[in-house]
Structure 1
C-alpha cells in the first residue's frame, strides 16, 4: 500500500499536462504541440500530438514553452510552469481546405494544384445526404441528371451526355455489367466509400473507352494506423427500405485486414401506398403489383494490405500492396397483374444479378520522387431473368417457356500500370502507362453464344511548368482492339494561377467503343428483331472546357466563386435504327453536340456553409440541319445546399434543394410529321439532422427525402423498339422520412495514456 502511495505521489509531482479544447469546450485531437525546455542545460525540443481527449503530457520538468497548432485553428504560444497544468483554448480560423485527389493525377495532391478540375464529394457530405447508394449521392449534384427504370435500374447523364458515355471506377478499376448501356447506380453501395471524385469531360487518354462525358471514381476507405475497429450501420425509410451492414478492421504488425457485409431490403412501393406503411397484409389479387419493384441486395467484402509483399530480402523496397474482393447479389421481383377474366393466375419475373470483383494494387514510391503503380483485376457480372406462371389459388409457380428466360454473363480481366514522377520542385513531370482489358460476353442473345473483345493500350502525358504560375499537360493514348479500329486519342490541359484566381482550360478527344451488345447482339422473337453490327466503329468526341475559380478569405469567412463552360461534339454516334423491314440494328448514323455554362457561389463561415449553383445546358437537335427547329434545346438547373454546424452540441443540420428544368427535343413520327418530345421540370428537397454521441462513437441521423413529393414526371416522346409513349416516367417513390444509426468503435479509445518522462 505504501509502495502505491509513494508511486502516485511522485508521479503527480513530476507530471504536468496540457488539455487543448475549442471555444465550445470540445477536446481537439491531433493538435501539434511543440515543447521547448527552458531550464534544461541543452535546449531540448519535443513535438507530440494530442490524444482523443485533447490531452498531451509535458515530457520535461520545469518551465516549458509550448507552441500549439492545428488545421482549422489559430496557433498559440504559451508557457507551462513547474507542477502546473493548463487548459488551452484554440480559436477557429477560417480558410479554404483543399481535398486530396488521385483521379488522373501522378500522385496524391490537393484539388487546387490539380491540372484537371476535380469535384470531390467527401464522407461528411455522403452521410449528411443519408445516401445508401451512388444514385442517392449523385441526385443532388450539379450538371448531373438521374433517370430511373424500375427494372433496369437508375442511370445518370453528365453535361447532357448519357450514362453509356460515363466511366465509373472503384479505386481505379472499371465497373462492368451495363444493362441498356448504363451501369445501375443503385447497385453501387457507398457505406465503404471514403470519397467520390468526379471529373467532367473526357479522360479517354487515362482510362480509355466510355470516359467520354466524365469519370466517376469511388475511393474506398483504407485501413489507417494500428487500431482495431468495428462499425455497425442501420437504416430505415418509411417507403419500405430497411438496411443493415457492418465491418471489422484488425491489424497485425505491418498488415491490416478488414471484413464487411450487409443487406439492403426494399419491399416495393406503389403510388397508392400510404406515407407510413403499417399494414403489410395485402390482398393477393388486388395489390400484388408494385410500380417500384421489391428488391433485396446482399453484399460482402474482404480486404488486406501491407508492406514489402514477398520482397523482404529483395533490393526492391517501399512496396505497399492492397488486395480486395467483394461480392454483390440482387434480386428484383416483378409481380404481374392478375390475368382476366378470372384473375386466377399471373405472370411474375425475377431478375437476379451477381457481381464479383477482385483486385490487387501494388505501389512503390521511390526516393527520387517517382512512383510505380500496378493494378490487376477480375470482374464478373451475371444477370438472370426467370419468368413464372403463378396460380393465385394455390400459389404454385411454374417456369414459362425457354424464350421467356434469359441469362447473360460478362467478365473482364484487367492489367494496368503507370510509372510517374511527381517532383514539385521540378518543372517537368511525366507519366507512362499501359492498359490491357479482355472482356467476354456469354448468353443466348449473343451471336455464337459467346464473344470476346481484347484491348491493349499505351498512354503518356507530361506536366511542364512553363512559367511559375502556368502548367501545361499534353497527353496521348494509342490502343489496339481485336474487334474495331481504335482511334488515336490526344488531350491538352493547362492551369494558370493569377492572384486569387485559378484558370483551367482543356481540349480532350474521347471515344466510346462499340460494346459486345452493339457488335454481336442477336434477339429475335414475336415482338423484337434486333441484330448487332460487327462493322461498327468507335464514337469519337471533341471536348473544349474552361473554368475559373476565385477564393477570397476575409477573417472568419471564405468566399469561393466558380464559373465554367463546356462544348462536346460527338461523331459516329451509335444508334439503334431500322435496317430492313421491321428489323433493327446498330449503325454509326448520328452526330450529337452539347454545350453549357455553370456558375457557383460558395460561402463558408464558422458554423454555416452555403452553396448556390446554376447550370444551363443545351442539347443539339439533329433535325435542325433539314427542318426549321432550334439548333439547340436548352434546359436550366438550379441547386442550393446549406449546412449549419453546432459544434458545442455536436449537431449538424443540412438542406439540399435542386430544380431540374424541362428537357425538350424533336422527332419525326410515323406520319413523317415533326413532333416535340419533352420531360417536365421538377424540384426535390431533402433535409437531415445528424447528432453525435460519445465523441462520435454513435451518430444518429434523421431526415426527410423528396419532401416536395415528386413521384412521376410528365413525359412526351416517340415509341421505340424497347419503349412506348406512356406519358409518365418514374422519378421517385414520393416523400419519405428516414433514420440511420452509425456505431464506430475504435480500440484506441479505450487504451490508457502512456506518459513518457524525460529529465
Structure 2
C-alpha cells in the first residue's frame, strides 16, 4: 500500500511537471498564487511564492471548515507534525520533523509565547484558541538567524486579525460537541457534573475611522472530560473506577486589540488572558469511621489552575521616509497553581481544602526589532536587528518535576541578548540569495552563533527551486538544569553545567504551478535533513538503583522527503500529500564501567494526507473532508527488565500506525450572516494505540499496559455562528 501511494504521488508530480510546461505555452501571462500572503521570516509581508522560505499556510477557511477551536485541533492534519494529548494532565505536546516541543518555537504575531520553560517552547497548543486567528504559518527547519535559540525544528507563527472591512463586526458562536459517544446538554446532578464539550464565544470589532481599529473577544471552552471505563467523580465504590480517563478542564480566553495605522506608520497594542482549570479526581478512596459508628469514604482530590497574561506592543514605521523599522515589545506571565482538598464522596461535600499553592511561574520581558529597506532597491537590500529576552523561572518543592533538598524553592533568571543581520540579493537571472548571521549572548552560557543561507531560483514563470541551510542552538531548560528528585525510590538530577545543543538543517524544495482554463494546480516536492549535536538526554547512570542525570551525550539526525499537491477547479479544492521521514539517534550504554555508543540506523515513518473542499454557491454550502494516515513508528527505549549494573540495555519499541478522518458541512443563511457547521472528528474511531514502549512501565498517557491512550474516539459537533457587519 505504501509503495502504491508513493507511486501515485510521483506519477502525479511528473505528470504535473509536463502539464506545467504545456500550460506555460498556452498561458504564459498568468501566474497563479493559491495561498495567502505570509510574514514569517520575511522583510515585509509578501506572497508565499516570493518568499525565500517554504511557508505552509493553514488559512482561515480551513479553520472554519474544520470547526477548529484550538491550534491543536487543526495542526494534526499537517505532514510531519504530531500533536500528542495527555489524558492525565489535559496538556498537549507537539512534535515536528522528529523533534519534540522543546525544539519548536511557537509565535503569536512573531512573538514567542510564554510557557513553563521560557519563551516559545513546550507550548500547550490546546491553550491557544482560534477565534481571532487569521492564519497559521509553518516553517520547518532550523530558523536560528531569524528567531534565535530553540528554533531547531522550525516555527509555528499564529497570525491574528487586526482590521475589518466594515465599521462594525459582531460575531457570536456556540458549539456543542460529543466527547467520544458521551454528551449531556445540561448537568445531571444525580449522576455526573456533565458530559461533552461546550464552547461559546463573542467578538466585537469596530473601525473607529480610517486610521483606528479596536476589538475585544471572549471564548469559553468547557471540556467535561471523558469517562471511558471510569464512573465519574461521584462514584464511591472501592474498585478504582472513580474519576475520568481524560480529565475535565475549562478554559477562558480573552483578548483586546487597539490599532492605529497611516501611510508610513502603524502601531497596535494587544492584550490577551488565559485561565484554565483542570480537575483531578482520585480513584483511591479511604474509609473513615465516625464516633457513632457511621462510615464514609473520602478522596484526596486536586484542582489545577493556569493563568497567562500577554501584552504586546508593535510599531511599524518608516524612518527618514525610507528605512523601515518593525519593533515588538512584550511582557508575559504564566502561573500554575493547585489546591488539594479532601472530598466526602457519598455525602458529596468537601471536608477540608488546603491553601492555594503556586508551583510553577514564569515571567518574561521580550523585545525584537528589525531595520530594513536602507537602499530602497529591488535588487539588493539588507536587514539588521536585535532580540532581547529576560525570563524569570520559579518552582517550589511541590512541582512534580522537582524535589529539592531542605524543601527549598528555585528562583532563577535567564537572559539572552542577540544581534542579527542578513542581506537579500535579487538578480535579473531569477536567482535570489539571502545570507544571514546571528550572535547570541546569555547570562549563563557561552556565546552562540547561527548562520543561514537561503536561495531561490525561478526556473520559469511557473516554477522555482529553493535551497536553505541554517543553524540554531537550544539552551537547556529549567527542568534539565535544576531537577533534583532524590528519595528512596528515585535519584533524578539536572546539571547546571549543561552546554547548549547545536544543530543545523538543509532543505531543497521545488514548486510548480499552472493555470489551464479554470484548472489551477500547485505542486511541491521537498527534502530536509537535520542534525543535532550535544543533545541533552536523561541518562541512566546505574540501572540497579535508578540513578538518572541530564547529560550532553546524544546525537540526532532526521531526513525526509515530502510532496504536496493542490488542485482547484471551479468550486472544488483538492489537496493530497505524502512524506517518508526517518530518525536516527546515537544511544549510549552508560554505566559505572561501560561507555559505548550505539549507532541507531534511520527508522522511517510514512505519512499521507488528503483534503477535499467543495462549495455550492447557490446553497452557500461547503462540504469538507480531511484525512491523515500515520504509519508505525519505532524507537529504542531503555529495557528496565534486562538492564543490570554491568550494562544498560535498549530494546526496539513500536507504536502502531493510525488514520484520522474528519468531515463537515458548513452552510450559510441570510447572506452568510448566520452559519451552521455540522461534522464529525476521528470518524475512524481511533482510541488506544499499541505502543510497546510502555510495556514495562506505566504510561503517562493513561493507557493500559502496552497501549497509548492517544484519542477518545469518534465525536460529533454542531457549530452555530452569527456574524453582523454594518
- CA distance change for structure 1 residues 709 and 422 in 2, over 3 Å: closer, same or farther? farther
Aligned to 2:324: 371
| TM-score between both structures, scaled by the size of structure 2 | 0.83
State which of 39, 54, 76 in structure 2 corresponds to 1:102: 39
- CA distance change for structure 1 residues 469 and 676 in 2, over 3 Å: closer, same or farther? same
Cα shift at 1:432: 0.7
Aligned to 1:158: 96
1:549 aligns with 2:501: no
- CA distance change for structure 1 residues 396 and 707 in 2, over 3 Å: closer, same or farther? same
Contact 2:450 2:471 in 1 (8 A): yes
- CA distance change for structure 1 residues 248 and 478 in 2, over 3 Å: closer, same or farther? same
Cα shift at 1:658: 0.8
Q: How does 1:504-515 map to 2 (within 5 A)?
A: 504-515=466-477
Q: How does 1:658-669 map to 2 (within 5 A)?
A: 658-669=628-639
Cα shift at 1:338: 3.9
> What secondary structure, in the 3-state scheme, does the structure 2 residue paired with 1:639 have?
strand
Comparing 718-727 with 580-589, greater Cα deviation is found at 718-727
Aligned to 2:202: 246
Q: How does 1:298-377 map to 2 (within 5 A)?
A: 298-307=252-261, 318-339=264-285, 344-365=297-318, 370-377=323-330
Distance in structure 1 (CA, Å) of the matches to 2:529 and 2:621:
42
- CA distance change for structure 1 residues 422 and 545 in 2, over 3 Å: closer, same or farther? farther
State which of 204, 217, 220 in structure 1 corresponds to 2:144: 204
- CA distance change for structure 1 residues 634 and 424 in 2, over 3 Å: closer, same or farther? farther
Contact 2:481 2:496 in 1 (8 A): yes
Contact 2:554 2:585 in 1 (8 A): no
For residues 155-200 of structure 1, give each alpha carbon's deviation from its aligned partner in whole angstroms, at most 9, with x where no partner exists: 1111111111000000111112147972111111111101000000
Aligned to 1:607: 571
Contact 1:233 1:245 in 2 (8 A): yes
Contact 1:486 1:538 in 2 (8 A): no
Aligned to 2:604: 634
For residues 349-373 of structure 1, give each alpha carbon's deviation from its aligned partner in whole angstroms, at most 9, with x where no partner exists: 2221111100111111368653111
Q: How does 1:428-577 map to 2 (within 5 A)?
A: 428-445=380-397, 449-499=410-460, 500-525=462-487, 527-577=489-539
State which of 45, 49, 54 in structure 2 corresponds to 1:117: 54
Contact 1:194 1:220 in 2 (8 A): yes
Contact 2:339 2:354 in 1 (8 A): no
Distance in structure 2 (CA, Å) of the matches to 1:693 and 1:435:
48
1:388 aligns with 2:364: no
- CA distance change for structure 1 residues 627 and 105 in 2, over 3 Å: closer, same or farther? closer
Comparing 683-692 with 332-341, greater Cα deviation is found at 332-341
Contact 1:106 1:422 in 2 (8 A): no
State which of 211, 214, 225 in structure 2 corresponds to 1:257: 214
1:705 aligns with 2:681: yes
Cα shift at 1:395: 3.3
Q: How does 1:19-168 map to 2 (within 5 A)?
A: 95-150=32-87, 151=89, 153-168=91-106
Contact 1:94 1:556 in 2 (8 A): no
Q: How does 1:210-289 map to 2 (within 5 A)?
A: 210-225=150-165, 227-239=167-179, 240-253=196-209, 254-272=211-229, 283-285=235-237, 288-289=242-243
> What secondary structure, in the 3-state scheme, does the structure 2 residue paired with 1:135 have?
helix
Cα shift at 1:599: 1.3
> What secondary structure, in the 3-state scheme, does the structure 2 residue paired with 1:344 have?
strand
For residues 434-491 of structure 1, give each alpha carbon's deviation from its aligned partner in whole angstroms, at most 9, with x where no partner exists: 0000000112147753100011000111111144300001101001100111321001
Distance in structure 2 (CA, Å) of the matches to 1:467 and 1:588:
47
For residues 193-241 of structure 1, give each alpha carbon's deviation from its aligned partner in whole angstroms, at most 9, with x where no partner exists: 0100000011111111121101000000112346121111111102200
Aligned to 2:713: 734
Distance in structure 2 (CA, Å) of the matches to 1:630 and 1:520:
29
Aligned to 1:21: none
Distance in structure 1 (CA, Å) of the matches to 2:417 and 2:365:
12
- CA distance change for structure 1 residues 552 and 729 in 2, over 3 Å: closer, same or farther? same
Q: How does 1:11-26 map to 2 (within 5 A)?
A: none
For residues 41-84 of structure 1, give each alpha carbon's deviation from its aligned partner in whole angstroms, at most 9, with x where no partner exists: xxxxxxxxxxxxxxxxxxxxxxxxxxxxxxxxxxxxxxxxxxxx
Tell which structure's C-alpha radius of gyration is larger: 1
Distance in structure 2 (CA, Å) of the matches to 1:194 and 1:252:
21
Q: Which has the higher contact order (CA 8 A, sep 6+)?
A: 2
Aligned to 2:123: 183
- CA distance change for structure 1 residues 481 and 118 in 2, over 3 Å: closer, same or farther? same
- CA distance change for structure 1 residues 415 and 530 in 2, over 3 Å: closer, same or farther? same
- CA distance change for structure 1 residues 148 and 698 in 2, over 3 Å: closer, same or farther? same
Distance in structure 2 (CA, Å) of the matches to 1:603 and 1:140:
18
Q: What are the ranges of 5 or more consecutive residues in structure 2 without an aligned counterpart?
A: 1-29, 180-195, 289-295, 403-407, 590-595, 644-648
Contact 2:539 2:550 in 1 (8 A): yes
Aligned to 1:595: 559
Comparing 446-455 with 289-298, greater Cα deviation is found at 446-455
Distance in structure 1 (CA, Å) of the matches to 2:175 and 2:489:
42
Number of aligned positions between the proteins: 641
